[in-house]
Every structure is written in structure tokens, then in C-alpha cells.
Amino acid sequence: MSEPLRLPPEWSWGTLGSLAQGVRGVAYRPEDLRNSNASDVCNLLRSTNIQNGQVVYEDLQYVPHSIVKPSQVAAPGDLAVCMSNGSRNLVGKSAQIGPEARYKRITVGAFCSLFKPHPGVPASFVKQIFSSAFFSKLVDFTLAGSAINNLKNSDIESFPVPLPPAPEQEGIAEVLSALDEQTEATLALIDKLTLRRKGLVQELLLPVAHASETVALGSVCSVITSGSRGWAQYYAPEGDLFLRIGNLTRAHPNLRFEDVVWVKPPSGGEGLRTRLEAGDVLISITADLGIIGCIPENLGPAYINQHIALARINSPELAPRWVAHVLASPFGFEQIAKLNDGGAKAGLNLPTVQALLIPKPSLETQKELAALLDSADAEIAAEQELAEKLRLQKDGLMHDLLTGKTRVTTKLEALQ
């Protein structure tokens, strides 16, 4: 590939092989696998252990030391890289080996490689190169036109990379690593908050639900219906919101708006029948069954497609948000799994939806528990928004720093 851009005068073009050397992983036979408790084993990482830039020490395999060459043993700072996989999207994914390699032997399987930074090269800088967008583009370019999703060490070692002076390599790595640490801390907090929310469901909502009198959903609704078929003809660049299963999530009963469709609905009965109102509870009734949503206030005109049913609560003794949270919990999902029409295609008909049982504690308890879960969901959403903001910030900054468009000294001063 030709050099794609002009670098600062102090920088030069080199290859990734001038930063790190690749060592292909261990080839082994099924009979080579050992018990994890054995004293003579090496922890073997595969592509499934490389997830989101992290090494995941779950579902490990173990091989004897005797079939692992010294060069195939990972050291702290080495990069585990997926080199061959049935899914092209996974080839080139990497994760850095941490300090755990000081006290346990780690290697990688034959479909992966270890890339070992050369002496004097900051391992954290090499990590950022492997996680950059231009590295991904070089992987795609190398694999293009090939029927086999496989990289050789020499492929990666020949990739052209901008080479700043060593002190600036360290500075670039410091800035980008600081963003990585913020992102990792945010993701860890999201995991903690998600676990806490699960605890609220298990320890508060479910005991109340199981101890309460129940009523059939159909007996407390003025409307239970499903969306109309054939509305693709009404799609428009702008107009009213048209909700599909992709706008629902199992994590909570709030709507997702990452991928929305707009419609110019027909006048008359079909448009009026499926027009949504605040408080309507949505239930997916085909394919991925039992995903729940609840229409918020001030959503504006909106409709649903035929894969979703709406239930409009008209009982003063039931809060719609409570109904949505209960149906989204194991209390609701277990019912839906049992009531599934079965057959070749999963599905719920409207009488089945009407038969779903809804617990009816006091209205005050319903609102209190729904508010607790709504608060937990809002806290998780805020942290997810922050994590996405940090990801976008790093993506933009990484390109500018790794190409010299933005010099690291300015960014270091901003972080201090």
C-alpha cells in the first residue's frame, strides 16, 4: 500500500514489524488437552477469549508445557491476536496480556498469534496501533478477495505504520490509555448497576408479584390488538414513528431509537386502530417473543407493526409502568414461554396475550417499585451514554494522534 498521508517532520514511515514480532500459537490435538488442576499445564487462549479488547479468562483450554515453545509463552504487554476465523469480523481482533502472565503460563492456540513488542518499544503504544481504525482497514484490505479468513504474521508485520519518536509514542499511549481507563471504569460501573437492577427485580418485584392477587391482562385493558401488515408502502423520509421489534429491548421496558422508521399512515380505521397512546404496553408476539415496551409521555404520533401487540390499561388499580416491568421480568417471561403457540414458528395470538396474569398489589406499591426500576434504568442509560461518548472521543483522538495531526504534548497538558 502507498503511504496514505504526510507526517510531521520528526516522524517516519515504518512497518508494524519494526514495533513487534508475531509468533503463531500452539497447534495441539484433542488428546493433548489437560485438566486445569494439573501442575504442568499452560493456559491456552483462543479467539473466544478475545472480547472487546480484553482477555476473558473463561472457557479456557489447557495444554502441557512440553508442546509450548518458549517463544509461544506470553509475557505482560504481548498482544493476543485472532489470525484465522470463520467470521471475517473477528480476524485481527486483539487484546493485551496483563500482569497475570508473571505468575501463570499463558499461550494462544494455532488460530491466534502473540505479537511481542521489541525491546524499547512501549507495549501500550503497540496496543493502540492494533486497536486503531487504520489497522482494521489494513486487515480488511489484506483479506479482500480471499476465500479464507486467515492472516499470516508476515502480513501484519508488513503493515505500514506512522512512527513518531519514542517519547511521543509513550505520550500517545498515555493519552489514549487514560481514555481506555475511563471507558473501562464506566463499563465496570454499568455492570455493577445492571447487577443491582437485577437484584431489585429478584428481591423486591418478584416476591411482591408472587404474593399478590392476579388478574388477566384482557380484563384490565380497553384495547388489546396488534399492528397492521403491509405498512412498508407507507414508509417515508419523515412523518410518524413506526415501531418494530428492534425498538424494544429485554433489558428494560423503555424504547430504543437507534434504528427508526417513519410512516405517512393511511387515514381511517387502520391508522386509528394502531395509533399508540402514552402508557400503552407493547409485547413482541412473533420471532423473539415477549420483549416488552411501554410508551412514554410526549412521544408524539406513533404506530406498531404486525409483530407487536399493544395493551391499553384502563383499570385505575393498575399502573401501566408496573405492568410493563412485571411482564419484562421472569414473572411475565415464564408465562409467555409456556403460552407460546408452538409449532414451526414461535408466536403469541391475541387471546394468549389477553390471558397473561398480572399481579395487583396496592397501587402505591406498584408505583414505588416501578419508580425504583425506572430510576435504575435511567442511571444505567446515563453511564451507557457516557461510555459511547468516550468511545467516540477516543476514535477521533486516536486517528489524530497516531497520524501526527494533533501532537501529543498539547493533549498531555490538557489532561494534567
How far apart CA 197 and CA 201 sit, in angstroms, is 7
Q: pTM here? A: 0.83
CA–CA gap between residue 45 and residue 162 (Å, rounded): 30
Closest Cα partner for 43 from 29, 61, 59?
61
pLDDT at 343 over 60: no
Average pLDDT over residues 343-354: 79
Domains of the chain with bracketed CATH: 12-161 (3.90.220.20), 164-211+362-416 (1.10.287.1120), 213-360 (3.90.220.20)
Residue 3 has pLDDT above 60, yes or no: no
Q: What is the pLDDT of residues 295-324, one digit of tens each?
A: 999 999 999 999 999 999 999 999 999 999
DSSP 347: B
Q: How far is CA 375 from the centre of its chain?
A: 22
Nearest alpha-carbon partner for 206 in 369, 347, 412, 19: 369
Confidence of residue 344 (pLDDT cuts 50, 70, 90): very low
**228-283 confidence digits (pLDDT tens):** 888 989 999 999 999 999 999 999 999 999 999 999 988 776 778 889 999 999 99
pLDDT-based confidence at residue 74 (cuts at 50, 70, 90): very high
C-alpha cell recorded at residue 31: 488428546
pLDDT at 46 over 90: yes
Phi, psi of 55 (to 5 degrees): -85, 125
What nine digits make up the cell of 87? 467470521
pLDDT 10s digits, 113-139: 999 999 999 999 999 999 999 899 999
